[in-house]
Structure 1
Amino acid sequence: MGAAIRASSKKISVFMLTVLFLVIILGSLMYLIEKGENGFTSIPDSVYWAIVTITTVGYGDISPVTPLGKFVASLIMLLGYGIIAVPTGIITTEVTLAMRKRDQKNEVCPGCGKEGHDLDAEYCKWCGTKL
């Protein structure tokens, strides 16, 4: 599991940086849409609202009042569900790849030159040559 997390750390870092930019943009957008009268009194407060909404799929301390604000909030909540899935998929893929490598031997086939055969293989799975 540790190897999978290390292997996926760059992908997850890029993903998290993207989410950071996304909440800054969405929070600023909500500040412009909702104005100060509806609780969105500053851009930092609006960004905080976007973080709470995208991570907990809820409104948090303040909630939008305008129809456009409610629509954007709905999109942010749906985006929050998708964001949960991405890192899970990245790490799951890395775990699967690590398990496949562990279950294969590095012996090169004398016939076709490919490697990655099963540990108990006596013949190449690509060309049939005896290993």
Structure 2
Amino acid sequence: MNKLGSEFLKEFDNYERPIAFGLTKRLLVMMIGISVVVSLTISISLMELSDIFMYLVALLIAPPFIIYGLGFDEAVKEKILFNLKVQKRAYMTEFREGEEFTKDDFKSWKKVKEFDES
């Protein structure tokens, strides 16, 4: 079966469907994480503990939920895998050291044909 439309569009099967309250799984996890962080910071401030402790708890707990909820985890994973892979590449060239080029070496000549006419 041929595909209709542009090849640049994502397929419709890859989109996440809502699970509860019209939210997808990612957004639901992010909302739960944010509510946990808010409840912890409120309870720390009500117990009159140090503000630094409250900020530290918020900065350590919130980012994983936000990264997953907004979908940045896939981009972060791709970037980490790209940086950890071996990037050594070998290229084959016809360039030989010591070979001198003239100004006529890169011209296309009318007598030379790129295909076989027979």
TM over 0.5: no
The normalised TM-score by structure 1 is 0.30
TM-score relative to the length of structure 2: 0.32
When Rg is computed on C-alpha atoms for both structures, the one with the higher figure is 2
More helix by share: 1
